[in-house]
Structures are given as structure tokens and as C-alpha cells.
């Protein structure tokens, strides 16, 4: 897939996320757009990150065999809850296993509390 196609998927995902979740922080939109684009194209980059949510979305995609092997709609379905839903222990576990940054304000602290409980 060419870089131009990657950017088209990235922008489409950002628009889709903002339309479905207008109240979500920009950090969640970035994680969603980056994750959808990665699953559809196999290319990474995009809008900052990777955050805990983006790392967890990548693991979901890999475990389901979706990377470079799914449609836009399948990618959206696979990562929507991960990127926009409540923070979970699975998200938090990414702090121990991955280099995470560009997380939404307060999420790192909330994740650290989950891990210490």
C-alpha cells in the first residue's frame, strides 16, 4: 500500500472517530485513527503516540490476524472499544511492556493506580 493510501485511511479514521465520539479527547481520536490505519495498511505513524490504547489496539489486531488483512470497517469494529471505552487493566499493562506516550491527561496516573492495586 502506498503512503498516499495510508494517509487516506488515517484521515478517514480520524473523521469517523470524531463523528462517532465527539466528546472524546483528541488523544483517543489519534489512537483510533493510527490503529485503524495500521490494521488496514500495516503501516504505522500518523497522529503522535503510541499511547497505551494504541499499543493495546495493536495487540488486539495482531491476535485476530487483522494487520494488513482487513477492511476499514473490520478495523473500526476491532479497535473502537479499545480506543474509546473505559481504561482497563489491559491498557494499563502496556505501561510495563511498551514505551507509551501521548496518553490522554490523567490516564497514565489512572493506569498506574490500577497496576498498584
pLDDT in tens, 38-73: 999 999 989 988 999 999 999 999 999 999 999 999
pLDDT in tens, 5-27: 999 999 999 999 999 999 999 99
**Spatial contact of 11 and 72, defined as CB atoms under 8 Å apart:** no
pTM: 0.95
pLDDT in tens, 27-38: 999 999 999 999
CA atoms within 13 A on the CB side of 84: 20
In which domain, by residue range, is 102 found?
Answer: 3-116
Q: Indicate the number of domains in the chain.
A: 1
Is the dihedral angle over the CA atoms 63, 67, 70, 75 positive or is it negative? Answer: positive
Give the total residue count for the chain.
117
What number of other Cβ atoms are within 10 A of residue 75's Cβ?
25
Amino acid at each position: 500500500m502506498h503512503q498516499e493510501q495510508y494517509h487516506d485511511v488515517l484521515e478517514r479514521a480520524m473523521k469517523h472517530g470524531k463523528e462517532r465520539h465527539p466528546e472524546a479527547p483528541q488523544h483517543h481520536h489519534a489512537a483510533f485513527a493510527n490503529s485503524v490505519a495500521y490494521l488496514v495498511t500495516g503501516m504505522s505513524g500518523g497522529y503522535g503516540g503510541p499511547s497505551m490504547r494504541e499499543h493495546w489496539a495493536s495487540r488486539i489486531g495482531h491476535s485476530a490476524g487483522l494487520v494488513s488483512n482487513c477492511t476499514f470497517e473490520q478495523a473500526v469494529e476491532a479497535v473502537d472499544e479499545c480506543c474509546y471505552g473505559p481504561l482497563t487493566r489491559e491498557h494499563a499493562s502496556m505501561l510495563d511492556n511498551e514505551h507509551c506516550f501521548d496518553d490522554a491527561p490523567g490516564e497514565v496516573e489512572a493506569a498506574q493506580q490500577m497496576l498498584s492495586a
